[in-house]
Chains A and B, each alone.
Chain A
Amino acid sequence: MKLDDKLYLVRFNTDKLNHIKIKDPSVCLNQCEDKPCTRFCPSHVYDWDEEEKRITVGYEGCLECGTCRIGCPYGNIDWKYPRGGFGVSWKNG
């Protein structure tokens, strides 16, 4: 089963404010060769945009696990919880 199909099953109360920031995009471009965030995020929030040479952040699909904040080798992801009441809302848990 494809990840996108699984993410359709998740209920979100999407905030208009983005709760995730790349602190310094030049770190992704110049220092980070491996770009592990494009792999370890369970919902593939992070993607490398080859044309724009930057990491794109699809915060709307964030499952709020916190992996990115810990896994980014440069500590370059500023990940916070969404505001109270927003974000993922599990049906089963």
Chain B
Amino acid sequence: MRNFDVIVVGGGPAGLSAAISAARGGMKTVVIERGDYPGTKNVMGGILYTNATNAVVPEFWKEAPLERPIIEQRLAVLNGDQSIMAGYRDPAWAVEPFNAHSILRVPFDRWLAKQAEVAGVMIVPETLVEDLLYEEDAVIGVRTGRAQGDLGAKVVILAEGVNNFLAVKAGLAKPLTPEIISVTVKEIIALPKETIEDRFCLEEGQGATIELFGDSTAGMMGVGFIYTNKESISLGVGTNLGPMIRHHWTPNDLMENLKSKPYVKRLLQGGETKEYLAHLIPEGGYNHVPRLYRQGVMVAGDTAMLVNSLNREGANHAMTSGKIAGEVAAESIKKGDTSQKAMAVYEARLRNCFVLNDLYHYRRMGDMFENNPHLLKTYPEIFSKAAKMYLTADETPKKQRQKEIMKMVFAHRSKWGLLKDAKNAWRTLL
């Protein structure tokens, strides 16, 4: 059996970051990836955060295949054909030190894998890890789908993505359930770069994002998104699987529903769909984070449920958790102690940084939306009706109009209901 110090399962942002930090710590490291090369199996909405990436590959923006630096983030709430919008734009985000970039995962992950190779990591593609190998309680390697495919390691890092087969087999994670995952589909829609810049009011090379709530997901728990790439748009929509099943939606119908919204339609006009993708997002939050380690193994990225869906942050949680796992692996191996206690340092460090901090902070969010499905239906309706009433100039005196608006609000939701929702939101988000 061939032996390594560290085996990383999965060549995505978590796995590659783990491998890079382990290799930099002097470890003989291998990444096992089931795709043709790292990237070909990987999907995300498309936003990569600068800070977390820079910690793995300093000044990555000078070489990495990025699409556009994001200078504007818009939020839109759709109610039928109507939309309400808010946004923040800052041209300072177009230059160093940036905040985030849109990316396409196939070229980006391939590039990140190259950085791993430069750091000394061996990448083994086209290979599926089918199980872990154990010696009593300790994980001592992996079993791959290849002939004589057992590989030994002092530490295994599981970054197998959202489908947590191995983490479940290892007794670390529970099987996923419909209420904690979002089924997301995405299209890459080609448009000339000048058209993108005109439609989104961008200077050359700059990028924007729009997240769309409310009727973008037919009022179900979820979100639609539009991200600008260099010469394409990533258009996506995802909803929690539970409501999608109950309300008899198909993912593609949701996509077409979103495309048909007047505001969205105009942004995409004339574009040509180049690819249709599907992916799950683990949205269970803090209460569904699995056990993160046991003797000889750690879990990182989506496999560890490390996604902050409210702020649509995931790539950064993946990279930071991977990086820390790689460091802990290297430190433990050097000390000759890969016991459960040594691996526990990993969790402690995640708790001391934004990764578990943010998940803990928003730990009530999943329950709030699950127990209050009206939030994403009633409020888009209230807000857009209020905006329409307030902004329509029909000679109604404004004082009277404001009274009418309050009456409309209370017709949708009682005073008691409004107070309850406000208290809930306060408790959950602040």
Contacts and interface: CB of A to CB of B under 8 A. Distances in A.
6 contacts: A1-B273, A3-B250, A71-B241, A88-B40, A89-B41, A90-B42
Interface in A39-93: 39-40, 42-44, 63-67, 69-71, 73, 80-85, 87-93
Interface in B145-172: 145-146, 162-163, 165
B280 interface: yes
B181 interface: yes
Contacts of B114: none
B187 A6 contact: yes
B146 A70 contact: no
B352 interface: no
Contacts of A22: none
A81 to B, nearest CB: 6
Given A9-B276, A13-B36, A42 B183 contact: yes
A10 interface: yes
Interface string B233-245: 0000000010011
Given A6-B276, A42-B251, A71 B178 contact: yes
Contacts of A91: 106, 274-275
A65 B280 contact: yes
Contacts, number: 130
Contacts of A10: 275-277
Interface of A: 1, 3, 6-7, 9-10, 13, 34, 36, 39-40, 42-44, 63-67, 69-71, 73, 80-85, 87-93
Given A40-B251, A70-B177, A70-B241, A92 B278 contact: no
Given A39-B249, A65-B279, A90-B277, 11 more contacts: A3-B252, A9-B274, A43-B278, A65-B183, A70-B176, A83-B128, A84-B34, A85-B126, A90-B105, A93-B107, A93-B277
Nearest to B126: A85
Interface of B: 34-36, 39-44, 104-109, 125-128, 144-146, 162-163, 165, 175-178, 181, 183, 185, 187-188, 232, 241, 244-245, 248-252, 256, 259, 273-280
Nearest to B177: A70
B106 A70 contact: no
Contacts of A36: 245
User: Which 7 A-B pairs have CB atoms at the shortest separation, nearest pair first?
Assistant: A93-B105, A85-B126, A6-B276, A42-B278, A93-B106, A63-B278, A42-B251
Nearest to A7: B276
Contacts of B34: 81, 84-85
